[in-house]
Amino acid sequence: MTAKLAEMTTLEAAQAADDGTVVVIPVGAFEQHGAGLPLATDQIRAEALADAVAEALPGKVVIGPGVPVGVSPHHQAFAGTVSLRPALFAAVVREYVESLAAHGWRRFLVVTGHGGNNATLGTLAQDLLRDRPDLEFAWTPVTVLAGDAVGAMELTPVSGHSGEAETAQMLHIAPHLVRHDLLDPGTTTPDQLDPFARLARSVRHPAVALPYDRLSPTGVLGDPRRATAEDGRAILAEATDRIVAFIKEWLDT
């Protein structure tokens, strides 16, 4: 049977709630990913991970409705980018959680393919802690779960958005959506950055949010040509394992 709530009937949903399943909510972004990747890249990756987790944990997990648009003000200079304000994005996820909690679900895991959603998910977790102490709410980004797989790749000194790791995942998950011939390196070394951008990238804290058109004229950080589908498979596998292990332990608590 499908793990996707979207494809279940209300009777099947009732059963899944009774079974104490964890609701996995894939969220992403609708934003530029350079000349080579589609706008939905982050949502596609989040859904692939959710699917892999559900497949590995049959009967333990349901996949809830996704949020196809995330918090992307830093990409707004690039055509096609659609963005929700943090407060709005949080409100949407919260309504999902509270609607499903009304049917009996108690455990929620948001998988975000877009790092720009992290801070908002952090604030939502705090609000839920205050208002819904009866629920357990967790969230996770995708790529950072795969430290080993990414570490095994050869990244350029500046790397990140639409770069090696992200392109690899798309080559594995949705190769038909990759414009292979348009995969070109973006900003790859600090000296290509203006001084303030370079400063901002050089330290984790103080933290500075920068618009991506200031970081790269094409919106790409890194060299996507270095990515392979095999890298992407390894990233997805490692991330899946990490979440599966987490959920298994969670269900035992």
Query: Which residues ranging from 38 to 97 are in contact with a second copy (CB under 8 A)?
Result: 38-40, 43, 64-66, 68-69, 71, 73-74, 76, 78-88, 91-92, 95-96
Spatial separation of the C-alpha atoms in residues 19 and 37, rounded to whole Å: 38
Q: How far is CA 108 from CA 23, 97, 105, 214, 228, in A?
A: 5, 7, 8, 36, 32
For a second copy, the binding residue among 20, 152, 179, 180 (CB under 8 A) is 179
Stretch that binds a second copy, among 148-156, 165-173, 192-200, 229-237 (CB under 8 A): 192-200
- Footprint on residues 100-119 left by a second copy (CB under 8 A): 100, 102-104, 109, 116, 118-119
| Residues in the chain, overall count | 253
Judged by beta carbon, residue 151 or residue 203, the one nearer a second copy is 203
Residue in 166, 220, 218 with CA at minimum distance from that of residue 188:
220
Residue in 192, 184, 133, 110 with CA at minimum distance from that of residue 157:
192
String marking each residue 140-159 x if it binds a second copy according to CB under 8 A: xx--xx--------------
Reduced to 3 states (helix: H, G, I; strand: E, B; else coil), residue 62 is strand
Sign, CA dihedral 40-178-139-23, equals positive
Residue in 245, 243, 248 with CA at minimum distance from that of residue 24:
243
For a second copy, the binding residue among 1, 129, 225, 230 (CB under 8 A) is 129
- Footprint on residues 11-30 left by a second copy (CB under 8 A): 11-14, 17, 30
Q: How many residues sit close enough to a second copy to count as binding (CB under 8 A)?
A: 99
How near is the Cβ of 229 to a second copy at its closest, in Å?
18
DSSP 161: T
String marking each residue 220-239 x if it binds a second copy according to CB under 8 A: --------------------
Judged by beta carbon, residue 216 or residue 230, the one nearer a second copy is 216
Q: Is the separation of the CB atoms in 77 and 216 below 8 Å? A: no
